[in-house]
Structure 1
Amino acid sequence: MVLLFLSVNATSQNQKSSVSESDVNIKKSKKKKKKVKLPEIDLSNWKVTIPEGGGKGGAISVEPPEILNYATNDILKPYMYNDSTKRALTFYAYPTTATTANTKYSRSELREQMVPGDDNVNWTFKQGGTLKAKLSVDDVSRDTNGRYHKVIILQIHGRLTNDQKELIKQKDNNAPPVLKIYWQNGKIRVKTKKLKYADVNSTGILHEEAWTDDEGFNFQEEVGFGKFQIEVKVTDGKMVVSLNKTEYAVYNDFNMKRWGVFENYFKAGNYFQSRDEGSFAKVSFYELEVKH
């Protein structure tokens, strides 16, 4: 918008008023710039994996410090980006051939790194850890029965130490995820691991085959597509998951005590649980904090 302020010096009523270039003071009003609301999430201790192909069909991962420039990273932009209208960090995923080891599903998901750029430093239940997240599932496709596809939004993943890997002669350090938190048809569902045989020995317990899924726990509140808060608190032999500080799932039996043999790391984002053609999910995080 341009504002014109005219200053006219008339010497006579009969003289026609004239406006010279010097008589005109033009002021351009400054357009108010929309403030970009960036999410206040520190990514210094996270790496991200996206459903974009790496070598031999594997997915691409970006670690610190490169991840700190995600907003200008052309590879990450389609899958991890700022939603300035929400002040959120958004993760988008859909089925691709770019998957990680031991899964057929695609993900746009953060992986905790206690030491930036190093997957080899992790934590045990004895050391403990707390994750707090505020997030929303913004959009999800439906299956042929009209039900929304499932999305894993938070995890605690187990990890073998190098010594444990050598002991059981496993090719990698992968151990089962002790915690998976799902968004499922507008509600939050928690699944954890339990031993198949309670008296399994200290070597046998390291094998993935020693563990199986529990029956799962469903929180009563329906979160739908709105914001909600999740807190996961781990201490020696115990794990507590809360939804909006009103409902709690508590795990403190012998399974959690024996899980103490593993190292762990938190995961957060959009681990999409569908291979249906045309399916997708979008998940936004407003807050994400981890403490040990």
Structure 2
Amino acid sequence: MSKNPTHPKGAGRAGGLSTFVLMAAVLLVSLPAFAQTKLVIPEANISASASDSNLPIHANDGSLSTRWSADATTGTQWLQYNLGGCYKIAFANLAWYNGDSRKYNLALKTSDNGTTWSTVFSGTNSGTTAALKPYTFGDRPAKYVRLESTGSDVNKWVSLSEMEIWTQGTGTCSGLDRTRSPGENFDLSDYQLQTLNSSLQVKFVDPINTYTDKYFYTDPSTGAMTFYVPSGAGSTANSKYPRSELRADTTWHMGGTHTLAVSMKVLQQPATGQIIIGQIHGEQTGGSELLKLRWTDGDILMGVKKNFGDSEQKILIKSGVALGENIDYVIKLVDSTVTVTVNGTSKSFTYNRASWSDVDLYFKLGAYSQDASSNGTYAKVAVTALD
């Protein structure tokens, strides 16, 4: 794919153009659209469950005349690549020994830690070619890639001629287990969940433990704790907006130091373009939102109230934070001054402590959509770290 097609000797301009178009079409069919860079995997980073004289490194030597082989009579055999870092995997190219006449049972998996695995593909090869064939990964971030097989439709031997890993650049690996619920990946023992039921009305889950639903779940690609809320769904008391949100059970009064640190991304915005991604809220009604951290069409603002019951004052912290861009934010309240830091940029605000002294405060985070219309849009937020 790195070389331009050459014209056959003596071919005219029209013939050369036809040849170029034909070869381009073949390339488009045979390779994923966004193939970028083939990773160089050192021999020391290649391992396998077993092998005969056809060693694991033979699947990484650039030759289809060599292979890795292992007897799967007693169970699944695997070949594993340590990528040496976290990469966005575009696809894996696999070539099977006698793959033009055998169908191998296979699974392709990724991992952030080499212990917990997520399946990208499960099935068989085509059985019609022994050449390299791509299996797409959808830019899934990973540090390890593993091939598993139980043999072919001919025998119980696994024989792989070559495996290439192609990437679109470095990725972000959270170390989260993609197969576990949010409550198993994060310490949510001090939180209750405000989510939606089947009638799109707000319900409360406490304790969260292993709970998951379509509005609160683990992303199968990244392991992120994901909050999803459709516009126009039901709301809690004293609000007209829907939410999928965590609320801390522990409350406190203004004074001392209280900190919430979150790494997250806004993946989808509602029609209004506004989502509240973090809060310091109060138990009392009538204007007890001490702080609202807003994502609004790429701008991140802090909404604050000098006194209990005041109208919200909005302070811009960061502009141009696109959908899918990582957001690291810290909300830190020290005595009566709050400092919010977003991707290294900080803004502070001081409250009238006397006005807030009797308010029971607590943290919230997630997706609190600011769209009350049933317009088919939704808010979606993914959290990869919570402290």
Name the TM-score, length of structure 1 as normaliser: 0.68
Match of 1:186 among 290, 298, 302: 298
One-letter amino acid matched to 1:235: V
Residue 84 of structure 1, CA deviation = 3.3
* Partner Cα distance (1:261, 1:107) in 2: 27
Greater RCO (Cα-Cα under 8 Å, separation 6 or more): 1
Cα deviations across residues 79-98 of structure 1 (Å, max 9, x unaligned)?
00001322210000013452
Aligned partner of 1:152 in structure 2 is 276
Change (3 A) 1:26 1:92: closer
Does the CA-based 8 Å contact 1:50-1:79 persist in structure 2?
Answer: yes
Other structure's SS at 1:69 match: coil
Aligned partner of 2:130 in structure 1 is none
Other structure's SS at 1:98 match: coil
Does the CA-based 8 Å contact 1:53-1:59 persist in structure 2?
Answer: no
Residue 175 of structure 1, CA deviation = 5.3
Aligned partner of 2:271 in structure 1 is 142
Aligned partner of 2:81 in structure 1 is none
* Partner Cα distance (1:231, 1:127) in 2: 16
Change (3 A) 1:32 1:187: same
Does the CA-based 8 Å contact 1:132-1:232 persist in structure 2?
Answer: yes
Other structure's SS at 2:214 match: coil
* Partner Cα distance (1:156, 1:41) in 2: 20
Does the CA-based 8 Å contact 1:48-1:61 persist in structure 2?
Answer: yes
Does the CA-based 8 Å contact 2:231-2:270 persist in structure 1?
Answer: no
Aligned partner of 1:286 in structure 2 is 384
Does the CA-based 8 Å contact 1:48-1:108 persist in structure 2?
Answer: yes
One-letter amino acid matched to 2:77: S
Aligned partner of 1:108 in structure 2 is 244
Does the CA-based 8 Å contact 2:232-2:371 persist in structure 1?
Answer: no
* Partner Cα distance (2:196, 2:332) in 1: 29
Residue 187 of structure 1, CA deviation = 1.6
* Partner Cα distance (1:26, 1:42) in 2: 40
Other structure's SS at 2:268 match: strand
* Partner Cα distance (2:255, 2:237) in 1: 28
Aligned partner of 2:358 in structure 1 is 261
Residue 141 of structure 1, CA deviation = 3.8
Other structure's SS at 1:258 match: helix
* Partner Cα distance (1:109, 1:26) in 2: 47
Aligned partner of 1:92 in structure 2 is 228
Q: How does 1:180-219 map to 2 (within 5 A)?
A: 180-195=292-307, 210-214=309-313, 216-219=314-317
Match of 1:69 among 210, 221, 230: 210
Residue 140 of structure 1, CA deviation = 1.9
The yes-or-no answer on 1:42 pairing with 2:90 is no
RMSD over aligned CA atoms reads 2.6
Does the CA-based 8 Å contact 1:140-1:280 persist in structure 2?
Answer: yes
Match of 1:227 among 326, 338, 352: 326
Change (3 A) 1:188 1:256: farther
Cα deviations across residues 155-188 of structure 1 (Å, max 9, x unaligned)?
110124xxxxxxxxxxxx6752110011100120
Name the TM-score, length of structure 2 as normaliser: 0.52
Aligned partner of 2:95 in structure 1 is none
Other structure's SS at 2:210 match: helix
One-letter amino acid matched to 1:135: M
Cα deviations across residues 140-162 of structure 1 (Å, max 9, x unaligned)?
2435xxxxx210110110124xx
One-letter amino acid matched to 1:232: I
Aligned partner of 1:170 in structure 2 is none
Residue 265 of structure 1, CA deviation = 0.5
Change (3 A) 1:29 1:250: same
Extract unaligned runs of 5+ from structure 1.
6-24, 72-76, 115-121, 144-148, 161-172, 196-204
Identity of aligned residues (%): 28
Other structure's SS at 1:212 match: coil
Aligned partner of 2:143 in structure 1 is none
Extract unaligned runs of 5+ from structure 2.
1-49, 53-70, 79-106, 111-116, 119-175
